[in-house]
Structure formats: C-alpha cells, structure tokens
Chains A and B, each alone.
Chain A
Amino acid sequence: GEDVEQSLFLSVREGDSSVINCTYTDSSSTYLYWYKQEPGAGLQLLTYIFSNMDMKQDQRLTVLLNKKDKHLSLRIADTQTGDSAIYFCAEISGGYNKLIFGAGTRLAVHP
C-alpha cells in the first residue's frame, strides 16, 4: 500500500542549510507536498512539486524529486530559529483523493 517515510529528527546550526528527506512508494503520485507544523498548530503548506518536475525553488526552499528512486527532499537555505518545527512530506494517492503523510521530521535550529 501507500507509505511515506521520513527521518524523525534533524538538528542544524542557525545559518546552515537543512535538508529533510522523504521516500514514498506510490509511483502514480502526481503531486508531492511539504507541510510545516508549529507546536499546537495546524499544517501550513510550504511548497509542492508536480511529479514531472525534478526541482522547484521558492525563495529559501528547494525541493528535489527523484522519481526513479521515489525520493523527495526539502532544502532550507540559511535556516533560522523560526524554521524550528515539524516538517511533513505527503503524497496524493487514490486519484486526487487522499493525502498520505510521513511521520514528520522535527527540525531543531540552534545558535
């Protein structure tokens, strides 16, 4: 069935780049997403990538997609303390119906 996996924790120094990785199993996924969740809050859509793209850049965010390996990554340049949060990757499954989420990667940014 569908499955999305992420590493659970990442710690980076302020100003460095963060790279959060994700693997998925549904090769028919058309869109892949990155969401950010701050403590006690809902999910904020950060960015998404269509499956026929390899890369998408949006200010400090760069998404790379390797469709052959079913690997998705999110790079945050110049990571700031305000970037500390949980980051979820998700794939669309079931014909634009369901979002399947990974377990989330907790990003901790330290001085």
Chain B
Amino acid sequence: GAVVSQHPSRVICKSGTSVKIECRSLDFQATTMFWYRQFPKQSLMLMATSNEGSKATYEQGVEKDKFLINHASLTLSTLTVTSAHPEDSSFYICSARDGTTYEQYFGPGTRLTVT
C-alpha cells in the first residue's frame, strides 16, 4: 500500500526555537497534504490543508505565522513550528491524498516536546 513518512519521529526543542517536520509520500504523488494535531487521548484536529504549489488553507484558530506550511513538490510538505512554546508540545500527524485515487494515507506522526 501507499506509504507516507514523517521526519523526525520525535523531537525535543527549547522554547523560542523553530522546528521543521517533513512529510513525504513515498510511492505516489500527493496533490494535497493535510496537517493534524493530536492531543493526548483526543481526536485529530485538522490544522491546515496544503496544495502543491499554492498557499496552505488554515483552519479557524490556527495561526498561519506560527505554523508555516510549505508544499514545494508533489511528494513533500513541511510544517515549521516557529518560536515554539511548551503549549505547542503535541503529536503532529500528516496525511497525503493520492491525486489519482483520492485516498488519504497517514504518516506515523511526530512527537514534539518543547521544554
């Protein structure tokens, strides 16, 4: 089946620094990628939708200047958490939608801890 990878799987950073998370579709082209955030024992909250070559669409309440999303190619999207704070600590999951089948495949997630 289709595979989506995320890197890194875990990251610890200091408050005030920026962290970049990569999401790659390994064997298909993803015209659309989604970024989710998941708090412990809670559901996934959609943060933003990114389409290759255009600006991301952010959900209400998500700060676009804080969570920078770049979808530079059909296989790569990045999420940069700028000036991270402890409250940004969370599990970030991306998904990629196959441009041919429209099925969504999820990455394994990135655990971000801000100290």
- Give me the interface of A with B, judged by CB distance under 8 Å: 35, 40-45, 88, 96-99, 101-104
Does B42 have its Cβ within 8 Å of any Cβ on chain A? Answer: yes
- Assess whether B109 is in contact with A99, with CB atoms less than 8 Å apart: no
- Assess whether A103 is in contact with B42, with CB atoms less than 8 Å apart: yes
Query: Whose C-beta in chain A lies nearest to the C-beta of B46?
Result: A98
- Assess whether B93 is in contact with A43, with CB atoms less than 8 Å apart: yes
- Give me the interface of B with A, judged by CB distance under 8 Å: 4, 6, 32, 34, 42-44, 46, 49, 93, 95, 102-109, 111
- Assess whether B105 is in contact with A45, with CB atoms less than 8 Å apart: yes
Instruction: Report the 3 A-B pairs with minimum CB-CB distance, sorted nearest first.
Output: A43-B106, A42-B108, A42-B109
> Would A88 and B44 be within 8 Å (CB), given that A42-B106, A99-B95 are in contact?
yes
- Assess whether A97 is in contact with B44, with CB atoms less than 8 Å apart: no
- Assess whether A41 is in contact with B108, with CB atoms less than 8 Å apart: yes
Query: Whose C-beta in chain B lies nearest to the C-beta of A30?
Result: B102
- Assess whether B106 is in contact with A45, with CB atoms less than 8 Å apart: yes
